[in-house]
Amino acid sequence: MHDATIAHLAQSLKDRKVSSKELTKHFLDRISRLDTGLNSFITVCEEEALAQADSADERLATGDVTPLTGIPIAHKDIFCTEGVKTSCGSRILDNFISPYDATVVAKLKAAGAVMLGKTNMDEFAMGSSNETSFYGVVHNPWDTTRVPGGSSGGSAAAVAAQLVSGATGTDTGGSIRQPAALTGITGLKPTYGRVSRYGMVAFASSLDQAGTLTRTAEDSALMLQVMAGADERDSTSLPATVPDFSKAQKSAWENITIGVPDNFFDDSLDTKNAQLVKEALSVFEKLGARIKDIHLKHIHLSVPVYYVVAPAEASSNLSRFDGVRFGHRAEHAENLTELYMKTRGEGFGSEVKRRILTGTYVLSAGYYDAYYLQAQKVRQLISQDFAEAFKTVDVIAGPTTPTPAFRIGQKTDDPIQMYLNDMYTIGAPLAGLPALSMPCGFINNLPVGLQLIGPHLSEEKLFKAGYYYQQETDWHNFVPSGYEA
């Protein structure tokens, strides 16, 4: 059962070949047996999951179902879940029990999906390797000495190891697509505003976007269908109609033009990785797509722009964690200032502190114009470059990451090298664009990802390209050794 996609499980549930409770028990057993070597979960919700499975089976018996009714999923521990700990992978929220559900959680719950638990993540989504979590490092199931990518590494590892059929994640600078690439699964970052951010703990508000981690593009479409839509509680959510993603992706193939930026194939890209991406593009050519070389003039500035804008927003968003209203509170503070300092000193990890300090610096008097304002201007130029490219191409393709998964601890002492691991993914969130990563091969038994970026609200186009690509290839069917049975 665990090796089936969401689409296949949905059909099995509908045909009454298996019950949601049987599925849920099966996945809970796998988590209990196999997650000790991965550390992909922070919280496992066995009692709640079984109760939700019972409710799903009642709905299935009456025919009142959606494609996700009875499907076991997991949520990244950045989404508020009523009555269940929401920690954001941090010490400061280790004792926080959310009194409400995030919109994403509420929508999936209403659709009948079963929440198995909350997945591990880089602290407050700040990281590219899932090594900054208060709950410990997450291990890549393809090689447990290597990282699964971050910050949604717990969700990615759980899906890759078949501990869950699908999971939610968030993408601020690549935190869905990068771990999807490093663990050999499919990851979608939707258009900014396509999915509500209400109840999703903020890192960088102008960049954060909820998305999906699944085995296939087909499964991703099923999840996004439920998650997407306007939300009056989130002023940044788009009032755009949600199309039938599943129907659109399976419609007749129409030849498209795929732009390939020369900037994405520079000296930073592993040569074998580059070759696998080019082989993936040849699959699209066989389908009838036209490949066109393009140049994104300012994309090389995306990393420095991101690491000014994102920390600036983080320094503001994380100011609420002060030990007064909720979360960890330091003991033996003599006054309010000392309470703030001790609480934040004890509660935040080194990477979060680094980004708060960076963000505070670039927003401070005398430096705002030199750093933050300039970064916002360049961000607009990057967005304009994409808009100009989409006048002549339908989607943009390239590698998701410069290399396969690196070893745990390899880059922790060099933040700059760690940040550069997101060099191909940061452009899309800076411009608010949707992007999809899919497995396209292996280097020394480590997965490699192909990334597709589309214009605003073009998820249909990305899903269709992803669906047809995965009909022609089988990279998405590979499972890490030890997690097949």
Domain-embedded: residue 150: yes
List the beta bridge partners of residue 166: 214
Predicted pLDDT at 325: 86
Predicted pLDDT at 80: 98
User: What residue numbers bound the domain in which 248 lies?
Assistant: 6-252
Domain-embedded: residue 229: yes
Q: What is the arithmetic mean of pLDDT over 443-469?
A: 98
Rounded to whole angstroms, the Cα distance separating 143 from 182 reads 10
Q: Would you call 175 a catalytic residue per the annotation?
A: yes
| Residue from 77, 9, 91 nearest 40 by CA | 77
Rounded to whole angstroms, the Cα distance separating 246 from 224 reads 10
Q: Would you call 251 a catalytic residue per the annotation?
A: no
pLDDT band at 63 (very low <50, low <70, confident <90, very high): very high
pLDDT band at 485 (very low <50, low <70, confident <90, very high): confident
Q: What is the arithmetic mean of pLDDT over 256-275?
A: 96
Rounded to whole angstroms, the Cα distance separating 351 from 412 reads 10
Domain-embedded: residue 338: no
List, for residues 205-234, the tens digit of each pLDDT value: 999 999 999 999 999 999 999 999 999 999
For the cut 90, the answer to whether the pLDDT of residue 298 exceeds it is yes
Q: What is the arithmetic mean of pLDDT over 90-117?
A: 98
Q: Would you call 151 a catalytic residue per the annotation?
A: yes
Predicted pLDDT at 294: 98
List, for residues 134-152, the tens digit of each pLDDT value: 999 999 999 999 999 999 9
Predicted pLDDT at 249: 94
pLDDT band at 301 (very low <50, low <70, confident <90, very high): very high
Buried/exposed 38-59: b ≥16 CB within 10 Å, e otherwise:
bbbbbbbbeebbbebbebbbeb
Q: Which of 19, 21, 40, 76 is catalytic?
A: 76
Q: Which of 19, 175, 246, 458 is catalytic?
A: 175
Predicted pLDDT at 416: 86
Domain-embedded: residue 125: yes
Domain-embedded: residue 201: yes
List the beta bridge partners of residue 119: 41, 76
Domain-embedded: residue 181: yes
Predicted pLDDT at 335: 93
For the cut 90, the answer to whether the pLDDT of residue 91 exceeds it is yes
Q: What is the arithmetic mean of pLDDT over 250-255?
A: 94
Domain-embedded: residue 388: no
Q: What are phi and psi of 142, to 5 degrees?
A: -75, -25
Mean pLDDT of the chain: 97
Rounded to whole angstroms, the Cα distance separating 152 from 157 reads 9
Is pTM beyond 0.95? Reply is yes
Number of domains comprising the chain: 1
List, for residues 360-371, the tens digit of each pLDDT value: 999 998 899 999
Domain-embedded: residue 446: no
Predicted pLDDT at 158: 98
Q: What would the two tokens of residue 50 be?
A: 């079984």
Q: Which of 151, 165, 196, 315 is catalytic?
A: 151
For the cut 90, the answer to whether the pLDDT of residue 463 exceeds it is yes
In contact, 172 and 203? CB cutoff 8 Å: yes
List, for residues 313-329, the tens digit of each pLDDT value: 999 999 999 989 889 99
For the cut 90, the answer to whether the pLDDT of residue 424 exceeds it is yes
For the cut 90, the answer to whether the pLDDT of residue 123 exceeds it is yes
Can you give the CATH number for the domain in which 237 is found? 3.90.1300.10
Predicted pLDDT at 217: 98
